[in-house]
Every structure is written in structure tokens, then in C-alpha cells.
């Protein structure tokens, strides 16, 4: 058990979208995530790697914690975006 590895486990959704221009790679989003779905990018200054996107709880704490608004966005799986329509009458 000396050498641990990790590979991203893809799923049908992409909960977190990073803006590489805005992100400063501070990893605060990673360190607030209670499910611990990210690891730091091996290259310092880059946004964290979402290793376990399927385990995301979609709470948005990562976005709330981000010091650069827009650097990380949360998006629901497509099937979970409820429909809205203009009011009637």
C-alpha cells in the first residue's frame, strides 16, 4: 500500500466548471468540499482536479468559498434543471 494512485472517475455530469483565466489556484474550493471530490493540480497555480465528479452533492460551498467570483461554477446535471415558463394571465 506504499504507492497510491488516482484517476478521474468520469460520470454522466460535469458539476464544476473552472475559468482558467480567473482561477488563481488557491484550492479553497477543494478544501471546503465536504465530499472531498478534488485534488490539487500537480502544477501549482492551476485549478484543482475534480477526480470524483459523480460524488458531488451540488451544495455550492465551493462557489461560495471562491475568492474570485466566476472562477468556479456549479451546474446541475442536465436532467435536473427544472423548466420555467412566462406567467399566464
Partner 1 sequence: MEYRWPYKNETGEEERISCDVLVLGGGMAGCYAAIAAARRGASVVLMEKGATVRSGSAGSGFDHWETACTNPGSRVTPEEIAEAFIDEQGGYSNGIAQYICCREGWDRLLDMESFGGKIRDTEDEFAGADFRDDETKLMYAYDYRNRYTLRVWGTTFKPALRKELSRLGVKVYDYTEATGLLTSVVNGRKTNTGAMGMNVRTGKMLIVSAKETVLAMSRPARIWLFDADLPGLCEFRPPQSIGSGHAMGWRAGAAFTMMEKSVPGEFSAAGRSYPPYSAGNNHNTWYAATMVDARGVEIPYVDRDGRILQSVRERYLPAPGQKFFLKGGVIDEAKYEYRGPETMPFDELIKRGYRTPFYADLSRMPEMERKVIWGMMVGEEGKTRVPVLQNYTERGFDPEKHMLQSYGTGWKSASFLAQERQLFGAPGGIFHDWDLKTNIDGLYAAGDQLFASDCAGFAAATGYYAGRKAAAAAEKVCLTPPDERQIHAEKKRIYAPLCREHGVHWKELNMAIAKAMRNYCGAVKNEELLTEGLSLLDSYKEEIVPALSCDNPHDLVRTHEVLDILTVSRIIIEACRMRKSGAKALYFERTDYPETDPPEDAHFITIRQEDGKVIRGDVPFQYWGGLKEEYEKRNQDYIKRGGK
| CA–CA distance, 39 with 53 (Å, rounded to integer) | 12
DSSP reduced 3-state for 45? coil
- Binding string, 58-87, against partner 1, x = CB under 8 A? xxxx-xxx--------xxxx--xxxxxxxx
Site pattern 5..44 for partner 1 (x: CB under 8 A): xxxx--xxx-----------------xxxxxxx-xx-x--
What angle is formed at CA 51 by the lines to CA 83 and CA 72, rounded to 5 degrees?
55
Q: Does residue 45 bind partner 1 (CB under 8 A)?
A: no
For partner 1, the binding residue among 23, 50, 52, 71 (CB under 8 A) is 52
Amino acid at each position: 500500500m506504499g504507492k497510491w494512485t488516482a484517476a478521474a472517475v468520469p460520470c454522466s455530469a460535469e458539476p464544476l466548471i473552472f475559468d482558467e483565466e480567473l482561477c488563481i489556484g488557491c484550492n479553497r474550493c477543494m478544501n471546503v468540499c465536504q465530499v472531498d471530490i478534488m485534488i490539487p493540480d500537480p502544477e501549482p497555480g492551476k485549478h484543482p482536479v475534480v477526480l470524483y465528479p459523480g460524488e458531488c452533492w451540488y451544495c455550492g460551498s465551493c462557489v461560495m468559498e471562491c475568492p474570485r467570483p466566476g472562477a468556479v461554477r456549479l451546474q446541475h446535471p442536465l436532467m435536473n434543471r427544472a423548466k420555467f415558463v412566462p406567467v399566464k394571465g
